[in-house]
Structure 1
Amino acid sequence: MKLGLSTYAFFWHMASVNTNRLSVEQVLEETKKYGIDLLQICDVEELEIATDAELKGIAKKAEQLGIELEIGTRGIHHIKLERFLEICEKLNSKTLRTMLNGANFAPSFEEAVQILKQFKPALEEKGITLAIETYEQRKTEEIVNIVKEVASPNIGICLDPANCIANLESPEQVISLAAPYVKNLHLKDFTFERKTGWVGFSLIGTPFGEGKLDATYMLGELQQHQVNVNAILEFWLPFTNSIEETVQLEKQWIAKSISYIEENLF
């Protein structure tokens, strides 16, 4: 497995509330500083609206730094997929992570199968893998069944067990169901924190290795199915007292998580 960073690991670095927010090209530079040569640019609006010249600039920067790119979006609407296949080609990305549901479009099982079958030839021809993320909006079993129905080596699952807790699916259930079909992996740890006054809980992120995700079990299941994919580090980092303080904490989380993963997992 190859370890990469997601733009979600730089969420507060890139947030609109950050007056010193980083561009995609600056995030590429930061990624290199951590000794990582893989970045998944995920759900970044500036990418979707970028001109050809701007995309060329990102591709050139990535090439100069020796960083492999993956691309992420939301939804499988025809227009969305067509645009992001173009972006993948311009940025030399062989992976497109998405979700079934997007803005104003939540396809039925039948609609999802039909759309994905229509894009199947293009994906296979271009050598791009579409990885549909496990998410609380849809049951993991449904996503797996869609992938099985479409039956393409270039269409599979982006495994992120943390997302599905909100839909009352345990990480172990999600991992077990999805493992044979995984094409991309999100490394995102989490914990439950009791709210002030002891009224309820919050589901929040942690540096990887400090939460409740059983990463050993997850990687073991993937190995059983001979799955060897890129593993992308993400965070659910809550805002702290200020954007400056939160960005500094984000930097600490990145460094701690990379160290844990490299020392304990691969």
Structure 2
Amino acid sequence: MAVGVSTYAFSHRWDPAGPEPLSLLEMLHQAADLGAAVFQVCDHPDLEALTPDLAAALRAAAAGRGLVLETGTRGTGVGHLRRHLQHALALGARTVRSMAYAVVDGVEDRPTATESIARLREVVPEYAAAGVTLGLETYEQIPTADLLAIVEAVDDPHLGIVLDPANCVAALEHPRDVVRRLAHRVVNVHVKDFAFTRREGWAGFTLASCPLGEGQLDYRDLLAVVEPDPARVHQVLEHWLPPQGDGPTTRAVEAAWTERSLRTLERLQD
């Protein structure tokens, strides 16, 4: 599988207290400098409001750096997914990640399984006709058995699972169980290692991210079980890195984590 970097490898994407955001072009070039082969633009406001000029700039920069582009959003609204199909085509992306549960513009969208299936049955054929695959990511809000049932009810090779077993820990689902339940429907992998550590005074635990191979995610087991098509299913790095005191320090630690994790991914696939 080709390995890459998500915009979620940059802490400002998920932590409002993080450093000032880089532009998408800056992130793309940093990902390429670190040796990534894929750059996934995930849940980014500039993607939600993609302009023709930005699309052309990103596509040209990716081609110049030898990067594959992927995109990501949240939700299963038919109009929303149609708009993101157009964004993917404008960028030359062949994979779009989304979520069955989302908060869009401050409004919670938690469709029933029946509603999700109906929405996806309407829009997934359009993705298939365009040669684009839609993946629904694993999250604690929806049990993996329920997410799998939605995907299997639609039963189209252009709809599958974006596998991130770290996200499911909060719902008390064991990563190994998640991997085995979903392996046959995986179309994209989010790579995020994690570790449980005792809090000061032994008053509970902290679940936090760490570089790949330094935590409790058995990623070698994931690769052995999933066995994805290496030409189609990519591994995309993310982090839960807390701010490191100031912007430059946080950026340096992010880059170090990403580089170490990319090297670990390469070793695990040898």
| Deviation (angstroms), 1:260 | 1.4
Q: Which residue of 1 aligns with 2:53?
A: 53
Q: Which residue of 2 aligns with 1:7?
A: 7
Q: Does 1:205 align with 2:209?
A: yes
Q: Secondary structure at the match of 2:265?
A: helix
Q: Which residue of 2 aligns with 1:44?
A: 44
Q: Which residue identity lines up with residue 31 of structure 2 in the other structure?
A: T
Task: Check the 8 A contact 1:12/1:246 in 2, yes or no.
Answer: no
Q: Does 1:259 align with 2:255?
A: no
Task: Check the 8 A contact 1:159/1:184 in 2, yes or no.
Answer: yes
| Deviation (angstroms), 1:50 | 2.5
Distance 1:195 1:249 in 2: 22
Task: Check the 8 A contact 2:133/2:158 in 1, yes or no.
Answer: yes
| Deviation (angstroms), 1:243 | 2.4
Count of residue correspondences? 264
39-48 or 17-26, which deviates more: 17-26
Q: Secondary structure at the match of 2:208?
A: strand
**What are the Cα deviations for residues 65-103 of structure 1, in whole angstroms up to 9, with x where unaligned?**
221100011111123212111100100000000110111
Distance 1:218 1:4 in 2: 17
Q: Which residue of 2 aligns with 1:85?
A: 85
113-122 or 16-25, which deviates more: 16-25
65-74 or 241-250, which deviates more: 241-250
> Larger relative contact order (C-alpha < 8 A, sep ≥ 6)?
2
**TM-score, structure 2 normalization:** 0.93
2:252 to 248, 252, 266: 248
Distance 1:121 1:263 in 2: 38
| Deviation (angstroms), 1:132 | 0.5
Specify whether residues 149 and 166 from structure 1 end up closer, same or farther in structure 2 by C-alpha distance, changes over 3 A only. same
Distance 2:13 2:44 in 1: 12
**TM-score, structure 1 normalization:** 0.94
Q: Secondary structure at the match of 2:39?
A: strand
Q: Secondary structure at the match of 1:202?
A: strand
| Deviation (angstroms), 1:242 | 2.1
Q: Which residue of 1 aligns with 2:125?
A: 121
Between the aligned residues of both structures, percent identity stands at 36
Distance 2:144 2:76 in 1: 17
Distance 2:154 2:13 in 1: 38
Q: Which residue identity lines up with residue 59 of structure 1 in the other structure?
A: R
Q: Which residue of 2 aligns with 1:31?
A: 31
Q: Does 1:184 align with 2:184?
A: no
Q: How large is the Cα RMSD of the aligned pairs?
A: 1.7
Query: Which consecutive unaligned segments of at least 5 residues does structure 1 have?
Result: none
Distance 2:36 2:244 in 1: 26
